[in-house]
Amino acid sequence: MRYCLTIGIMLLAAVARADVESGPTTGEKAPALKVYAVTGNIDEGEVDYIAERKDKPTVYLLVDRSKFSRPIARLMKTLDEKLSGEVNDSYIVGVWLTDDVEKTKAYLPQAQQSLSFSNTGLTLFGGLGGPTGWGVNSSADLTVVVVNQGKVVSHYGFVSVNETLARRVIADLKKSVDGK
């Protein structure tokens, strides 16, 4: 019995360490997000996605380009497939944090072609630290920021990513839209 309890505590501790603090403060107005749009609903070029989306429900995915992986791609694809069916007028913005802007500009259309996103725009930000005010933790493989009505609903810094996390993100956005 004592052995099982010890293992249970260790597992809970591991789960607690799975996330790190990353992203802007929940409940605050979302800070400007000036990025370079490569694919999606906006023509290629500089854009402030927060200003563009205004009050519309949006999920922002910030990833260091060197940490992009199959698990992150699967999470993005799952969100892309399920979010619009759950939350009307929702959209996903993938933001690659990069120190090699030209290489990333060339890569993102290939990622779009491979993953066939229908509800996700791919963008880049020149700098691994992320945009001012976004509080991106370099320990996170993926920072997810859920925004509705121009305010941060929730934020996550995932150090271990899989597609099942989509349920949590969609539930947060749906709750903020439904007011429940």
> Which pLDDT band, with edges at 50, 70 and 90, does 29 fall under?
very high
**Mean residue pLDDT across the chain:** 90
pLDDT computed for residue 180 by the predictor: 62
Assess whether pLDDT exceeds 90 at residue 5: no
- Sequence ranges of the domains in the chain: 19-178
pLDDT tens per residue across span 69-125: 999 999 999 999 999 899 999 999 999 999 999 999 999 999 999 999 999 999 999
Residue 5 CB: number of other CB atoms within 10 A? 9
pLDDT computed for residue 139 by the predictor: 93
Assess whether pLDDT exceeds 70 at residue 17: no
pLDDT computed for residue 19 by the predictor: 84
Torsional sign, CA 46, 103, 67, 128? negative
Class of the domain covering 19-178: alpha beta
Residues 111 and 74: beta-carbon distance below 8 Å? no
pLDDT tens per residue across span 110-142: 999 999 999 999 999 999 999 999 999 999 999
Rounded-to-integer distance, Cα 42 and Cα 49, Å: 9
**Hunting for tokens 């402030």 — which residue is that?**
48
pTM across the whole model: 0.89
